[in-house]
Amino acid sequence: MVIEEINWLTMFKKSIMIKIGIAIGILVAAVMLMKKKDMSYRQSILKTMYPVIMWSSKSAGKKQTLTNKENIAPAVSFYTLHTKDINGADFSMASLKGKKVLIVNTASDCGFTGQYEALEKLSKQFEGKLVVIGFPANDFKGQEKADEKNIASFCQKNYGVSFPLMSKSIVIKKNHQNEVYKWLTDLSLNGWCTQEPAWNFCKYLINEEGVLTHYFPMTVDPLDQSVIDAIN
């Protein structure tokens, strides 16, 4: 009886492994068939797997969201900040007065890169009220090694990105941190928040008066109801 049970368990495990192997094989084959010439195989696989990645991490995102519940005003105005756009031109945050701003650190080779599509939809949904800004960065496991020209091309061709992208920069707390991200992560500047990006595609929301109101981690989809409610 014991031997029969062991044999049954062994056969069951083998069956599961075979099914997993077949599923992986189908996935790889599908990616190879669907692979775009403007994407690497890694990027194609990550895009295909993106819904699974978001589903598996959804519950964690809510716990990591931060909110400026007391509406603390910044010590240094958001509108004094400057950076460079993807083409190297000066970009002043003063040009965003009167609109909400969603700032996102981005990367082309990340499991969350699929959020580009949702960010574009969000940008269109709240056009005239919200400005989404992408800050490409290579701060996490070398997932943004491309230069500005290739980043812009990748985003437009594969995700239809039309919202502003900035020049590639450092967004975490280290030497030469981007001025905008220094403001976002220093409470002596923004008034309350010290949270640096935990990974690619973390989101910071600034309201129409230049007050930092929310931090959303990478595990919160840009079209999640919590983001929509914060914008509204």
Indicate which residues carry an active-site annotation: 158
Q: Are 167 and 122 in contact (CB under 8 A)?
A: no
Count Cα neighbours of 106 within 13 Å in the Cβ-side half-sphere: 33
CB atoms closer than 10 angstroms to residue 154: 22
For 66-94, b/e burial (b = at least 16 CB within 10 A) is: bebeeeeebeeebeebebeebeeeebebe
- Which phi and psi angles does 61 have, rounded to 5°? -60, -40
Distance CA 159, CA 137 (A): 18
Bridge partner list, 212: 206
Angstrom distances, CA of residue 52 to CA of 21, 80, 94, 119, 197 = 17, 40, 39, 18, 22
Nearest of 205, 216, 230, 196 to residue 62 by alpha carbon: 216
* 14-18-23 Cα angle (round to 5): 150
Distance CA 79, CA 85 (A): 16
